[in-house]
Amino acid sequence: MPHPKIIVLGSVNTDLVISSPQLPGTGETVIGGRFYKASGGKGANQAVSAARTSGLPVGFIAAVGNDDFGKGAIRELRKENIATQHIRMVHDHATGVALIMVDERGENQISVASGANSALSPDDVARIDDDFFSEASVFVACLESPIETVIAGLKRAKAAGLTTILNPAPANEEACDREVLQLVDVLTPNESEATLLSGWDEIKDLEDACIWCEQLQQRGSGRIIITRGDKGCILKDDSSDVCLTPAFAVDAVDATGAGDCFNGALATGLAEGKILLEATRFAMAAAALSVTQQGAIPSLPTRNEVEEFLASDPLRSQLAL
């Protein structure tokens, strides 16, 4: 397998999902759901999204337990054209597990037991050969791995000249530290993550978003994309301009993994030399397709599916440019 152009550092989980008419409230039991199991984890989702939308191998730095879930995850990732030589099998941790509940509107609640993901260390990053980084062009990380490991990955990627994407999910205040932000070329929080990271009660409008983005850029961050589900994206580039990009209209079934789909497809767009707006629209189309199917990895679209979706409506094609 040739050295990948996209590298993802992140988590591997087994998703245990119940799809039911409504999400339970505190102390409430909801009967009548449907159960299924799927591979997941933000890192795995992003890696598979990048592989499917690029059609090329994707490098993956991760950790799993020495158990059936971990062994099964590696088998499934190999089928998806993921380079798995840098997935470490940990003997004293179980593979990460996510318990997911999804309602009939596609809204979800997720609880994660990190397991082996918490054991991925800076030493694991340091052991990787230089060529693995130097022959790539884009590096993606999220925050389901220890922050010190994420920083180690970002440093190696920046030193090798890669474009770095940080998806600050789940939100962690340490992601706003100057040391971290100076390593980030593209920051991709969703609305709730942006609010938590800002320390504000609410980011109410475009003006608030612009102020928040400028504050982060003053601390070293590069370009920023705030993903907002069916409200589209707010994009802040290196200039003072803020761009509001509308969402694609689809019938949502399950939003699980949509943000990960976006980040993987964004990496594909940037690796192919697309400008940020064009790469963002490509990623938004992929994410829109993903919410029309159930599950995380099972819902991630291929390159052909994204291109057909964009080509099926002249307006979509115009917005993608």
57-83 pLDDT, tens digit per residue, is 999 999 999 999 999 999 999 999 999
Helix (H, G, I), strand (E, B) or coil at 303: helix
User: Which of the residues are catalytic?
Assistant: 260
Look at residue 174 in the predicted model and tell me its pLDDT: 86
Look at residue 208 in the predicted model and tell me its pLDDT: 83
pLDDT level of residue 316 (50, 70, 90 thresholds): low
Query: Would you tell me how many other CB atoms lie within 10 Å of the CB of residue 20?
Result: 16
pLDDT, tens digit, 9 for 90 and up, residues 97-143: 989 898 888 788 888 899 999 999 999 999 999 999 999 999 999 99
Q: Report strand pairing: 82-83 vs 58-65.
A: parallel
Distance CA 234, CA 194 (A): 11
- Structure tokens given for 76: 């499934």
- Percent residues over pLDDT 70 in the chain: 96
- Structure tokens given for 187: 């920051």
Q: Supply the DSSP symbol for 176.
A: G
Q: Which domains does the chain have, with CATH numbers?
A: 6-23+33-319 (3.40.1190.20)
Look at residue 314 in the predicted model and tell me its pLDDT: 47
Distance CA 62, CA 136 (A): 17
pLDDT, tens digit, 9 for 90 and up, residues 246-281: 999 899 888 888 999 999 999 999 999 999 999 999
96 in Cβ contact with 63 (< 8 Å): no
Q: What is the dihedral of CA 102, 95, 75, 2, to 10 degrees?
A: 100
